[in-house]
Amino acid sequence: MTKKTTSIEQLEKLTDALVEDILKLSDKEVLLEAKEQFSDPSEKCNHIRDAMHKTILHASKNKFSEAKSQLHSYKKEDKRNNVISFSHKKSVIENFTSKNFNLKQKLTLAARKGEGIQTENDIDGMFEDLLELGMIDEEGNPK
């Protein structure tokens, strides 16, 4: 009859048996036992219910911040998906410079000196400037 069990498993079996006894109690017996244990069982119930409500509040706060962080990630992802290609940015800038003789001359001069719009970062920077100045929209269309 002896089964292969560890001390922990034996204690688990004992705990299960003791809980099984509590489950077998009638509501009346539960209330009677509570009266023996607590001076005011109703006050104890209020305490248990309050603690449960605090847990609900805690869970809803967690859920809210989780939703907030998901929204943040979604927006970030969405922004990443809408990134304008480097070549498009370049063509938007070229379109601007070709229409403005002074600007074109300045840029040509700067390029000869090894300055001006040379790298991808320069293109990005100038695109951002045009955007901030309100000369183009987020897709690079002239306003």
Partner 1 sequence: MHVGFTEETDEFLSPLDIKSTINTLSEADLLRLNSIAQQYSSYCSMDSDEILNEAILKALIGSRKCPINVSFIAFIYQTMRSIAFNEKRKNEKFEPIDNTTSPLQGKSALPEDKTSAHQELESILNLFENDDDITLYLMGIYDGCTPNEICELGDWNKTKYSSIQRKLRRSLNKHYPNGREK
> Rule CB under 8 A: is residue 39 a binding residue for partner 1?
no
Residues in contact with partner 1, counted by CB under 8 A, come to a total of 50
Q: Which is nearer to partner 1, 17 or 133 (CB)?
A: 17
Of the candidates 58, 41, 128, the one whose C-alpha atom is nearest the C-alpha of residue 93 is: 128
Take residue 30 and report the two structure tokens written for it: 């539960």
Which stretch in 50-58, 78-86, 118-126, 129-137 sits in contact with partner 1 by CB under 8 A?
50-58
In the complex, what is the shortest distance from the CB of residue 40 to partner 1, in angstroms, rounded to a whole number? 11
d(Cα 5, Cα 13) in Å, to the nearest integer? Answer: 10
Asked whether the beta carbons of 51 and 59 are under 8 A apart, the reply is no
Asked whether the beta carbons of 139 and 84 are under 8 A apart, the reply is yes
Which one of residues 16, 40, 124, 129 is an interface residue with partner 1 (CB under 8 A)? 16
> Rule CB under 8 A: is residue 64 a binding residue for partner 1?
yes
> Rule CB under 8 A: is residue 68 a binding residue for partner 1?
no
Q: Name the β-bridge partners of 136.
A: 142
Task: Report 101-130 residues binding partner 1 (CB under 8 A).
Answer: none
